[in-house]
Structure 1
Amino acid sequence: MSAFYRFALLSRVCNFKTETGLIHVGSMAVNPGRLSLTCRRCLSGSAVDGPARVKRVSIEGNIAVGKSTFARLLQSACPDWEVMAEPVSKWQNIESGTKKGKDDAPQTTVSNLLQMMYQDPKRWSYTFQTYSCMSRLRTQLQPPPARLLSSEGTPVQVYERSVYSDRYIFALNMFELDCINPTEWTVYQDWHSLLVEQFGHQVELEGIIYLRAPPEGTDLFSIRLTRQQAKSTSFHDALLAYRLHQLLIVYNLDRLKKCMERLVHRGRSEEEGVKLDYLEKLHVQHEKWLVEKSTELHFEKLKQIPVLQLDASVEFQSDPDVREQFITKVTNFFSAL
């Protein structure tokens, strides 16, 4: 947390008087040793020792994997958890300034950038990823609500996706699909790194919850034998491996199709043209970053961040036992951060 941000936060509730060594809260002078728990939380990270600041965690996962449903579950599960929704409405309603109509009266044009990106990704992907990242940045820079600052439990601010998935999932995917050209990709990475480094702790995450569509421990698309393995494998074993490979493909695609079903069910008009192949590519990006750890990252803390994996293919919305299991895992995860 920057010094300026801490000062702005503290100035709302406390006035300091260093000459006497007393801290003035409202009109009352208080000895620092007798501060209330609430005030000590406000002063966390300042001259008075106190509990750790509010923890920040993001929910990551594929399109229509169930993030919003899961976020609502978290919001209702604990008063110490505050969920910040993905700013989709901002992308759908961009006021493009004013222009004169036929009657010479100024008019405001409202653009749906999300729809524009899906309809013409080569033209609009860079523009969309720029705006989506900026809107995520604004969300992550918002100060925690007062009830979290005064919490006696484990206060956590939870974000639907983050500035990091914007870069390492969606923008990277568009670059690999040639919807963002090399020059645009270089520019995007440059300003993204600059902003994240400048804001520092204000946008850092303590943990990530990964809602994962396919089953644990299986490669989504293929199980390939190496040449050495193939030479030492009998025909029977090779045939068995091939059949297993086919079953896993069908099994995993069925799991990914749940994302497609949820996508269709929520009826977001911009996503009508989204294909299963696109979801598959996004899944691979998530796996590389959060499971295989093979994505090239540019922020040291992000390389070491704890990740909680949850199987999003189960119907946690309608199964109270699964919901309880999820909440227990999340509670333990938050406590360990």
Structure 2
Amino acid sequence: MIVLAGMIGAGKSTYTTLISKELNSTAFYEQVKNNALLEKFYDDPKRWAFSLQIFFLNTRFRSIKQALVHRHNVLDRSIYEDALFTRINYEQGNMSSAEMELYTDLLDNMMEEIDGMPKKGPDLLIYLRGSLDTHLKRIKKRGRPYEQVEDNPGLLDYYTRLHSRYDDWFASYDKSDTLVIDIDEINLERPGDQALVMHKVKQALKKAHIPTS
């Protein structure tokens, strides 16, 4: 199993589609479209942060259990990043201490379940790393109204804080081999870059002793 990681706007879904297609596997996508809780969160984070994080935790837990059965299945975001988003919401006052404690207890319980499975973690985590400016440009380009900082100035602080913590989160990740892709330099709209990415992915899988066919 391969998992994608990265800030909002990194292009995880696009990479997931490319990699799963090239490796002839199943793609698992974060539930964003028609997600009423997500839009409610952006409109009123203090009211909806806890509900949204529990929703994503539940769906990511379900996805990773399904994806772990095949070495080439691809998740566009995994349960391993979930606590970072929740921690940021807690620090910004969008969640209470009691909610944070409940969330953490539930996450720990789920991680124990994953550790008890025959396959205990991903084969590879791919971190899509880029500057905050690149992420903001991509958020603007994809055009989801509720994500735009122009309409919600408080979002810029949220994005900035989240972005500033990703490298530390990645440095602490220890569940699998990793690959970093610089999204400031690579653009999947260029066919040559698609081939370059797949070369990097296959080389990383080879290093981890995971067959690609």
Q: Same fold (TM over 0.5)?
A: yes
CA RMSD of aligned residues (A): 2.1
Instruction: Give TM-score, length-normalised by structure 2.
Output: 0.85
- Greater C-alpha Rg: 1
Partner SS state of residue 156, structure 1? coil
The answer for unaligned runs of 5 or more in structure 1 is: 1-55, 93-111, 149-154, 215-255, 294-301
Mapping for residues 79-98 of structure 1, pairs under 5 Å: 79=24, 81-89=25-33, 92=35
Amino acid in structure 2 at the alignment position of 1:284:
S
Amino acid in structure 2 at the alignment position of 1:135:
T
- Going by fraction, where is strand more abundant, 1 or 2? 1
Q: Which residue of 2 aligns with 1:208?
A: 125
- Going by fraction, where is helix more abundant, 1 or 2? 2
* Superposition deviation, residue 315 in structure 1: 4.4
Deviations 1:92-129 (A, max 9, x none): 1xxxxxxxxxxxxxxxxxxx100111111111111110
Aligned partners of 1:143, 1:263: CA distance in 2, in Å? 27
Mapping for residues 1-337 of structure 1, pairs under 5 Å: 56-79=1-24, 81-89=25-33, 92=35, 112-142=36-66, 155-167=71-83, 169-200=84-115, 201=117, 204-214=121-131, 256-272=132-148, 273=152, 275-291=155-171, 293=172, 303=174, 305-337=176-208
Deviations 1:211-261 (A, max 9, x none): 0013xxxxxxxxxxxxxxxxxxxxxxxxxxxxxxxxxxxxxxxxx222222
Q: Which residue of 1 aligns with 2:211?
A: none
Aligned partners of 1:143, 1:325: CA distance in 2, in Å? 25
Kindly indicate whether the alpha-carbon contact (under 8 Å) linking 1:211 and 1:312 is maintained by their aligned counterparts in 2.
yes
Partner SS state of residue 126, structure 2? strand
Instruction: Give TM-score, length-normalised by structure 1.
Output: 0.55
Aligned partners of 2:175, 2:62: CA distance in 1, in Å? 24
Amino acid in structure 2 at the alignment position of 1:277:
D
Aligned partners of 1:144, 1:303: CA distance in 2, in Å? 17
Partner SS state of residue 58, structure 1? strand
Partner SS state of residue 179, structure 1? coil
Aligned partners of 1:137, 1:326: CA distance in 2, in Å? 27
Deviations 1:29-75 (A, max 9, x none): xxxxxxxxxxxxxxxxxxxxxxxxxxx22100011111112122213
